[in-house]
């Protein structure tokens, strides 16, 4: 597994782990200028991908990202000029803080030609098993928000998230132990959280 892969030691007291996007290795897109950085990945015992979360930067008017055969994607807008996400059937404009499901392993990105240089940032959650996709929820943190057991990564979209002694802002993420639930104490922040099925939270 990569350095950003979740620790599966079974220690329920494990504190959140801070991941800064700029510290992650950058891999080129399959086509177009830009790159992808893996925030977190989960593999089966035979090293088959279950799901993977990446932050993707698009610098060209078009870009291509290809995942393993049979996988699907959830795409989340982060920052920069709006991007249209296209597959064989549809083309939809992705707005900031919007989760867009793409039932394909191939992602085509398009954005208008810019008068000034700039980049568009996205989150891409790639997963196997279209019948039971992982959850990616976007919510405003308030006193009643709970991150249920099974939540494995939290990405601040706006504001600061402080959780069990760890602090994360935009451009970073917190990796959580999947057997724990958490109550973020930072009202007003907007977060994206990725979670697997609760029944899978304590798998070995």
CB 145 within 8 A of CB 183: yes
Beta bridge partners of 198: none
Of the candidate CATH numbers 2.60.40, 1.10.620, 2.60.120, 3.30.70, the domain formed by 134-199 belongs to: 2.60.120
User: Checking DSSP bridges between strand 135-140 and strand 190-195, what pairing results, if any?
Assistant: antiparallel
What class, spelled out in words, does domain 23-127 have in CATH?
Answer: mainly beta
Hey, do 23-127 and 134-199 end up sharing a CATH topology, with the first three levels equal? yes
CB 111 within 8 A of CB 120: yes
Question: What's the pLDDT score for residue 43?
Answer: 79
Question: What's the pLDDT score for residue 2?
Answer: 43
What is the residue-level pLDDT of the chain in tens, covering all 204 positions? Answer: 444 444 444 444 678 899 999 999 999 999 999 999 999 888 777 877 888 899 999 998 899 999 988 898 889 888 888 888 986 667 788 887 788 888 889 999 998 766 556 788 999 989 887 666 677 776 666 656 677 777 888 888 888 888 888 888 889 998 888 788 777 656 666 777 777 654 443 343
Question: What's the pLDDT score for residue 99?
Answer: 83
- Count of beta carbons in the 10 Å neighbourhood of residue 106: 16
């Amino acid at each position: 597994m990569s350095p950003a892969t979740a620790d599966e030691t079974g220690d329920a007291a494990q504190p959140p782990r801070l991941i800064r996007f700029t510290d992650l290795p950058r891999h080129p897109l399959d086509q177009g200028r830009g790159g992808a950085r893996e925030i977190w990945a989960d593999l089966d015992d035979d090293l088959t991908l279950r799901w993977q979360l990446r932050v993707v930067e698009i610098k060209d008017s078009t870009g291509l990202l290809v995942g393993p055969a049979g996988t699907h994607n959830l795409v989340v807008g982060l920052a920069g000029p709006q991007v249209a996400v296209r597959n064989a059937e549809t083309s939809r404009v992705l707005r900031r803080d919007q989760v867009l499901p793409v039932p394909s392993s191939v992602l085509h990105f398009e954005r208008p030609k810019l008068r000034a240089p700039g980049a568009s940032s996205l989150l891409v959650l790639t997963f196997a098993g279209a019948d039971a996709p992982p959850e990616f929820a976007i919510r405003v943190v308030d006193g009643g928000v709970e991150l249920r057991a099974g939540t494995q990564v939290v990405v601040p979209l706006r504001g600061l998230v402080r959780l069990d002694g760890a602090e994360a802002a935009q451009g970073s993420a917190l990796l959580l132990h999947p057997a724990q639930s958490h109550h973020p104490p930072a009202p007003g922040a907007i977060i994206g959280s990725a979670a697997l099925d609760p029944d899978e939270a304590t798998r070995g």
